[in-house]
Amino acid sequence: MKIYFSGGGGFCLKRKIKKIFERAIEESGLGFKNFSVSVAFVSEEEIRRLNREFRKIDKVTDVLSFPSLEFVGKKLSLSELASEISPLDGSVNLGDIAICQSVARAQAEEYGHSYSREVCFLALHGLLHLLGYDHETAEEESEMMGFAERVLSEFGLGRKYV
């Protein structure tokens, strides 16, 4: 898996996100691992601009996902990925994730866990959206959050609050 980072984050946090993403891809059961994704650590001003421009919501948020695949809104399948594989390197570009660092810090404090846990959760949440997961219904949210917590727990970052 190739992850292209921009902005802050720090080396250790980026390495942790990469391992979490690789585990999530494995856990997804797609049977394909050669993905690329970009993760940008952005300011409140930038995340607000992106939210306003792409979602028509003029407010700061914690994470945004921008899928590059056409079949957004349903979970990816291996058969659908076949047409998306780059002839140059054999990878599939899933899309982009933007994480607002200051919101992540505030949420970590509010929830009583580490900044690292919060950023890893937000990054994984963004990746799951790129893989077709959503939380529009209670059932979808339960499935998505359960997936995230299973993966994060493997890295000692499981839920530490109610």
pLDDT 10s digits, 29-71: 888 888 999 999 999 999 999 999 999 999 999 999 999 887 5
Q: What is the pLDDT of residues 96-138, one digit of tens each?
A: 999 999 999 999 999 999 999 999 999 999 999 999 888 888 9
More confident residue, 106 or 89: 106
CATH number, domain 2-154: 3.40.390.30
For residue 151, the number of C-alpha atoms closer than 13 Å in the C-beta half-sphere is 28
What values do phi and psi take at 131, rounded to 5?
A: -85, 0
Burial of 106 (0-12, 13-18, 19+ CB in 10 A): middle
Listed residue (83, 84, 2, 77) closest to 36, CA to CA: 2
Q: How confident is the model at residue 86 (pLDDT cuts 50, 70, 90)?
A: confident
How many helices (H) and strands (E) the chain has is answered by 6, 4
Listed residue (39, 43, 78) closest to 60, CA to CA: 43
Q: How confident is the model at residue 162 (pLDDT cuts 50, 70, 90)?
A: very low
Q: What's the mean pLDDT in 85-97?
A: 89
Specify the pLDDT at position 71.
59
Record the pTM.
0.90
